[in-house]
Amino acid sequence: MTQGSYCLVVYVNKNELNLRIGKLGKLKFRRGYYFYVGSAMGLENSAASLENRIKRYTKIKLNNNNFQKFKNDNNINHFYNIENKKSPKIHWHIDFLLKSEFTTIIKIYLIPSTQKLECEIAKFLFNLCDNFIERFGCSDCICDSHLFYFKDLKNFI
């Protein structure tokens, strides 16, 4: 599993969180759940591999020894009980959000694939979400956003 797309489920634990997000400027985040969609299409051991992209945000190591931590449904892998790691370097929009003391990754979905599926996943979430952060995480495509807000997750997770 070296390539694919992923979804970080991030919980914001503050009623109003104001953050400067790179060139997007100052944005307001409400308490609730945010799904961030990304892709990692690099080859094994490259910085852009799926494993290394997830290691950027968590202390999870993806290898054959820890697949028991996965729950696999239709080739979508879920991680629970995630130990977060605040990203040491700000590069992507999501890095600004995850750097906050008021955010926590609560779940990760991994979708192994040799095809870049993040825009299709983003369109799916766009139709389900309560709101979205315009242009977040999608400066390299024509999507409206790659970050979607859900007030609660009763009907989703």
How far apart are alpha carbons 147 and 144 in whole angstroms? Answer: 9
41: Cβ contacts below 8 Å, ≥ 6 apart:
3, 4, 48, 116
Residue 39 has pLDDT above 90, yes or no: yes
Side chain identity at residue 62, one-letter code: L
pLDDT in tens, 88-117: 578 899 999 999 999 998 888 888 899 999
70 alpha carbon, distance to own chain's centre: 17
- Among 60-64, 68-72, 124-128, the range scoring the smallest mean pLDDT is 68-72
Residue 65 has pLDDT above 50, yes or no: no
